[in-house]
Amino acid sequence: MFKNYLKIALRGFFKQKLTFFINLFGLALGLWAAILIGLWVKSELNMSRHFTEIDQVYRIMEHQRYGSDIFTTTSTPGILAKELKNVYPEVERAATFSWNEENLFVNGETKIKLDGLYAGEDYFHILQYDLLHGERETALSEKTHIVLTKEAAIKLFGKTDIVGESVLMKESDGESSFIVQGVLESLPTTSNDNFEFLLPFEFLSDKGYNSWMKDWGNNGPSTIVKLNKESDWKAFSAKLENFILERNEGSNVKLFAYPQKELYLHGKFKDGIQQGGRIEYVKLFSLIGLFVLLIACINFMNLSTAKSQKRAKEVGVRKVVGAEKGALVKQFLSESLLITLFSSILALLLVELTLPVFNELTGKTMQIPYADVYFWMQYLGVILVTGLVAGSYPAFYLSATKVVSVFRSHSKSSKGVVIARKGLVLFQFILATILIVSTVVVYQQISFALNQNLGYDKEQLLVVPLEGRLMDNYEVFKNRIDQNPGVQSISRSTHSMLGRNSNTGGVNWEGKDPDFSALFEIMRVDYGFLGTMGFQLIKGEDFSKDKGADSIQGAIINKRAYELITENNPEAVSFTLWGSDRTITGVVEDFHFQSFHQVMEPAILLLDPTFASRAFIKVGTADIQNTIASIRGIAEEINPDFPFQYTFMDENYARMYHEDVRVRDLAKYFSILTILISCLGLFGLSAHIAEQKTKEIGIRKVLGASTLSILNVINREFITIVAVSIVIGSGVGYWLMQDWLSGYAYKIDFEWWFIPLAAGVILSIAYLTVTMQALKAAQINPVDSLKGE
């Protein structure tokens, strides 16, 4: 029986080549998109879940209250982990770990920079990375120990079996020798962590300038714990609420525990409540993948039912000779499954060809897991469902054909079938419209964020890390590069201008509401910083060496901070910071040191470049490369031990939106794919309609109809459907994009021309697609089309 079905199916494919190839490529493109998105979704869902006993691991986080606002952060006091382990018996392990840092490591003649972090002794017992060499118990047990990844070990030593060997780390405040106590296997692709080395946290916190890490009133590092299996994590979290307040009177911090495995996807909080996160993108692109595959299935349904009249006699004859409806359904479903199988093979080839590009686009290293049985089970399931969905309507429709109606007349499709076919086309283009409208809005918002005035000039601005001797000999470095005519100005700061770096709620002023508090960003800068960055001074004056102590004891604040301080006291000219009086010597226009997702926050600039680790150099537009080469030469002469590095501020700023850019690009490509698949189906349908209307067109031509009027006969049916889909899709797209834009504090308006642009694109492509077939039909000689009459 199956062999018979196969023969009939293959015979039908060869007989209807255009329909076969449209269905084949349409389904292949749909499955291709579904596989790519499926791989990405699986990767996202598995992030940070691969660790042993991850269900017992929790991140300790803070809710910080500022007036009516609650700011949620993973930053905690550096001494929190040890105290939690001492106080709560349910805490089996606890570790503090730092932010990522890039340091210079030396082994003989080999000098390389590695990116890593500092972590407590329990870190490897909580997050159990696979060790290639070494013992977990002793990996970070001493301040002189270091753990390297497999890749870092090869870079430094050329091998991985290096436990017991020494490596030198050079910093601005000196150099330290460490003994390698462990080498990790390559970090899994499902790991959200990105490091090449791990050093004991005590090495960092014991430095004199990091004494703040041992104060309950400060935070910065992160804290992670592993609870006993019997522990109720929610009850434990509730007990933590006033943990900081009990040790730091007047604190505005409330602690809570949050599952580590959920932080990657569900780590977004608003006003102390978990809201969204990356899971929103996972849901969005899962829907896009489903819709693209559904559109491909709709094409199959439409073309199959459109061609049903040509198979109606076949069905009628089979019924006359005794074929049952069930057998006919099986036959048509087998044809659908067979073409889906062919499409799935083609889809896998397309995935292999495009996966490197998709990996680059998404920032991942995915591959098709050919050896994974579950992958093949899931893929076969998708093929089966796709084949059944695509073939179900045609199968049940064709098998229900009445013998009497077949032999009496089969020149027209039933009204119900025509309405269903139009409805499916309508649904396709509604989805296409939503995607195009969304792409336009996302593109405009990101362009707005990247090109809007930030309150400073990020163009032609070099950022050079001050390492080694460059920090101690900054004035020498500055004076020498100032002599280069390509250098306009230079200054330095502790702040990156790329998000929260250092902040405090310890700011008070006369007239302040006792119940009000705000989080002020602290920027420690040098002379000339305002001019180098292009800040606009709107009140007072810049820091000046001529002012001496006045500048050192004063502060420059942004407009937002000035509005807060003078709200209840317009004559205010000073404030206290951590109990010390500060005179407001200047006010600058607001500037964005965070992305446009966040609102403008108050900022304080202090003249204190002691620990300024970044030089900001404004260069001219002429001969930039020679200017950079000159700066490099001076830096390497003063600081030969450290490789010279630099970045451009505009590129650094753009990297804050890399996730948004990925969403934009993915939406763009899947919009194109959706339109392509939709128009592929439209092409097949218009070819069928043109074939149906061959005699009608011949008669019209004999009666003197023009080619344009004949084109309108075929175009009118489809363009009307597409126009209706644009109206509906635009409304849905508007609603979805308003919700997406709500995630930005500074955003574009939904402009009137977004919808006409999307409509123009879709209508143009649809019109050209249908016109190609209509024009072909209009050029047929009436003699040929009517010779059978």
Taking the C-alpha atoms of residue 557 and residue 554, their distance in angstroms, rounded to an integer, is 10
Taking the C-alpha atoms of residue 422 and residue 424, their distance in angstroms, rounded to an integer, is 5
Taking the C-alpha atoms of residue 269 and residue 276, their distance in angstroms, rounded to an integer, is 8
Average pLDDT over residues 393-400: 63
Instruction: Give pLDDT, residue 740.
Output: 87
The SS3 call for residue 241 is coil
462, two tokens: 């070099």
Instruction: Give pLDDT, residue 593.
Output: 95
C-alpha distances (whole Å) from 343 to each of 196, 369, 386, 564, 763 are 42, 19, 11, 63, 28
Q: For residue range 227-271, list pLDDT tens digits in order.
A: 999 999 999 999 999 999 999 988 889 999 999 999 999 999 988
Q: Provide φ and ψ at 726, rounded to 5°.
A: -65, -40
More confident residue, 777 or 130: 130
Instruction: Give pLDDT, residue 410.
Output: 46
Q: For residue range 709-734, list pLDDT tens digits in order.
A: 777 777 777 788 889 999 999 999 99
- Asked whether the beta carbons of 563 and 590 are under 8 A apart, the reply is no
Task: Using a pLDDT cut of 90, give the percent of the chain over it.
Answer: 54
Task: Please report the DSSP string for 108-130 in residue order.
Answer: TTEEEEEEEEEE-TTHHHHS-PP
Sign of the torsion angle spanned by Cα atoms 468, 469, 473, 476 = negative
Instruction: Give pLDDT, residue 309.
Output: 56
- Total H helices, total E strands in the chain: 26, 26
C-alpha distances (whole Å) from 119 to each of 100, 116, 614 are 11, 10, 25
More confident residue, 272 or 16: 272
**Within 10 Å of residue 344's Cβ, how many Cβ atoms?**
21
Asked whether the predicted pLDDT for residue 296 surpasses 80, the reply is: yes
Please name the residue ranges forming H helices in 172-278. Answer: 201-205, 233-240, 260-263
Taking the C-alpha atoms of residue 713 and residue 699, their distance in angstroms, rounded to an integer, is 13
Q: For residue range 399-443, list pLDDT tens digits in order.
A: 666 655 555 554 455 566 667 777 878 888 898 899 889 889 988
Average pLDDT over residues 552-563: 94
The Cβ-side half-sphere exposure at 82, using a 13 Å CA radius, reads 11
Instruction: Give pLDDT, residue 550.
Output: 64
pLDDT-based confidence at residue 325 (cuts at 50, 70, 90)? low
| DSSP one-letter code for 74 | S
Asked whether the predicted pLDDT for residue 788 surpasses 60, the reply is: no
The SS3 call for residue 264 is coil
Q: For residue range 749-758, list pLDDT tens digits in order.
A: 998 899 999 8
- Asked whether the beta carbons of 383 and 375 are under 8 A apart, the reply is no
Average pLDDT over residues 277-286: 89
Taking the C-alpha atoms of residue 489 and residue 482, their distance in angstroms, rounded to an integer, is 7
- Asked whether the beta carbons of 588 and 501 are under 8 A apart, the reply is no
Taking the model in full, what pTM does it have? 0.85
Residue type, 82: K
Q: For residue range 571-610, list pLDDT tens digits in order.
A: 889 999 988 999 999 999 999 999 999 999 999 999 999 8
- Asked whether the beta carbons of 407 and 309 are under 8 A apart, the reply is no
**Within 10 Å of residue 512's Cβ, how many Cβ atoms?**
19
Asked whether the predicted pLDDT for residue 785 surpasses 80, the reply is: no
Taking the C-alpha atoms of residue 714 and residue 58, their distance in angstroms, rounded to an integer, is 63
Instruction: Give pLDDT, residue 582.
Output: 94
Q: Provide φ and ψ at 743, rounded to 5°.
A: -80, -5
Angle, vertex CA 786, rays to CA 785 and CA 789, nearest 5:
140
Average pLDDT over residues 499-528: 91
Instruction: Give pLDDT, residue 64.
Output: 93
Provide the pairing of β-strand 520-525 with 603-607: parallel
Asked whether the predicted pLDDT for residue 350 surpasses 90, the reply is: yes
Mean pLDDT of the chain: 87
pLDDT-based confidence at residue 307 (cuts at 50, 70, 90)? low
Rg of the chain over CA atoms, in angstroms?
34
321-325, 556-560, 680-684, 697-701: which has the highest mean pLDDT?
A: 556-560
More confident residue, 297 or 119: 119
| DSSP one-letter code for 56 | G
Q: For residue range 150-190, list pLDDT tens digits in order.
A: 999 999 999 999 999 999 999 988 899 999 999 999 998 88
Taking the C-alpha atoms of residue 768 and residue 679, their distance in angstroms, rounded to an integer, is 10
C-alpha distances (whole Å) from 298 to each of 29, 135, 392, 430 are 13, 58, 11, 13
Instruction: Give pLDDT, residue 349.
Output: 95
Instruction: Give pLDDT, residue 411.
Output: 47
Provide the pairing of β-strand 507-508 with 537-540: unpaired
